[in-house]
């Protein structure tokens, strides 16, 4: 296990600057009044590929030697990491191989192709995916970029909270959603050196609360196929992200499906931004734990904006 360092984050930041946005920080007097806190929303929904994951993906892609780069990169995510890796590979002009189940929605396949990725379809099972992924790697020699359990990816994600601290002039706390833990690990990496006084909170759906239970138990607990509207947060912690979560996170807070949907709608209605359900989990947990954040300056990471505009969750609830 290679643990990325603060210097790795600084190097990543210089490396990826030409390919990613320094996203804006928005505030809402309505939401400040509602929560009693002073909230600073870091809008990674405005990021390239509409996801913070382009930071880590770009760091991995642009850190490759020319020789390795020529063989391309590969992953088996079907979410924001696949889009982000496709975007970054496209910017470097190298192949990006994405293994996806043939049952994945056409919209997701189209999005990956739109960003320049090449899809290889597999059966919708772990065995099927692993077999096809091994074949693709074997055939192409592509470098595997894991969605989160990769030191290059975590160093890249850490650039987000560096910007947030600089843009706000300092914070009492930062809160971000937790799935596999890539963003939270990057946040821990950066803040433990840059702003060690800043508390780090992770926010998780109750229905996919494996990180919460891991945190309480002191060891990784993985769930099998949790179901939540926050579809970016279904994956489990891995050794590298567990290292950061167990060392630096102050607490993990959870919210119900309805609380997540209500918070998402509230952000759309009051802040006028399009963001995905996963990004609403932090505000949902702040609203039900007001005493934790009252009177504090709190950074809230809006992790992405990739959402199906034809099927918004409050329309089913």
Identify the residue among 3, 131, 194, 274 touching a copy of itself (CB under 8 A): 274
Give how many residues touch a copy of itself by CB under 8 A: 19
- Shortest distance (Å) from residue 288 CB to a copy of itself: 22
- Shortest distance (Å) from residue 20 CB to a copy of itself: 13
Q: Which two tokens stand for residue 240?
A: 């590298």
Euclidean distance between CA atoms 107 and 80, whole angstroms: 13
String of contacts with a copy of itself for each residue 246-265, x by CB under 8 A: -------------------x
Specify the residue, 107 or 134, whose C-beta has the smaller distance to a copy of itself. Answer: 107
Identify the residue among 14, 66, 138, 310 touching a copy of itself (CB under 8 A): 310
Q: Could you say whether residue 312 binds a copy of itself (CB under 8 A)? A: yes
Euclidean distance between CA atoms 183 and 259, whole angstroms: 22
Reduced 3-state DSSP string for 59-122: HHHHCCCHHHHHHCEEECCCCHHHHHHHHHHHHHCCCEEEEEECCCCHHHHHHHHHCCCEEEEE
Which range binds a copy of itself by CB under 8 A, 32-40, 45-53, 68-76, 128-136? 45-53
Identify the residue among 1, 225, 315, 316 touching a copy of itself (CB under 8 A): 315
Specify the residue, 22 or 130, whose C-beta has the smaller distance to a copy of itself. Answer: 22
> Which 12-31 residues touch a copy of itself, going by CB under 8 A?
24, 26
Euclidean distance between CA atoms 97 and 85, whole angstroms: 9
Q: Which two tokens stand for residue 94?
A: 């190298």
Reduced 3-state DSSP string for 139-174: HHCCEECCCCCCHHHHHHHHHHHHHHHHHHCCCCEE
Q: Is the dihedral of CA 285, 287, 289, 290 positive or negative?
A: positive
Specify the residue, 22 or 135, whose C-beta has the smaller distance to a copy of itself. Answer: 22
Q: Under the rule (CB under 8 A), what is the footprint of a copy of itself?
A: 24, 26, 45-46, 50, 265, 268-269, 271-275, 305, 309-310, 312, 314-315
């Amino acid at each position: 296990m290679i643990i990325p360092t603060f210097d790795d984050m600084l190097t990543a930041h210089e490396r990826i600057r030409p390919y990613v946005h320094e996203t804006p920080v928005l505030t809402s007097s309505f939401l400040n009044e509602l929560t009693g806190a002073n909230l600073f929303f870091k809008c990674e929904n405005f990021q390239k590929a509409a996801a913070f994951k382009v930071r880590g993906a770009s760091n991995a892609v642009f850190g490759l030697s020319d020789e390795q780069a020529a063989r391309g990169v590969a992953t088996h995510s079907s979410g924001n990491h696949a889009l982000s890796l496709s975007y970054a590979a496209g910017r470097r002009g190298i192949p990006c191989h994405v293994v996806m189940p043939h049952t994945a929605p056409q919209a997701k396949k189209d999005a990956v192709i739109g960003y320049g990725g090449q899809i290889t379809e597999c059966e919708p099972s772990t065995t099927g995916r692993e077999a096809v992924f091994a074949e693709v790697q074997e055939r192409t020699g592509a470098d595997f970029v894991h969605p989160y359990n990769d030191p290059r990816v975590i160093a890249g994600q850490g650039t987000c909270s560096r910007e947030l601290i600089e843009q706000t002039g300092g914070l009492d706390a930062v809160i971000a959603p937790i799935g596999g833990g890539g963003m939270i690990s990057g946040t821990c990496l950066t803040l433990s050196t840059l702003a060690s006084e800043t508390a780090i909170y992770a926010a998780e759906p109750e229905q996919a609360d494996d990180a919460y239970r891991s945190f309480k138990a002191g060891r990784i607990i993985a769930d099998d196929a949790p179901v939540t509207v926050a579809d970016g947060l279904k994956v489990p912690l891995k050794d590298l992200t567990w290292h950061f979560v167990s060392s630096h996170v102050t607490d993990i807070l959870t919210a119900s499906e309805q609380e997540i949907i209500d918070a998402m709608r509230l952000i759309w209605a009051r802040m006028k931004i399009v963001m995905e359900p996963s990004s609403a989990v932090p505000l949902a947990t702040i609203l039900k734990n007001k005493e934790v954040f009252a009177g504090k300056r709190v950074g809230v990471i809006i992790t992405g904006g990739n959402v199906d505009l034809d099927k918004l969750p409050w329309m089913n609830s």
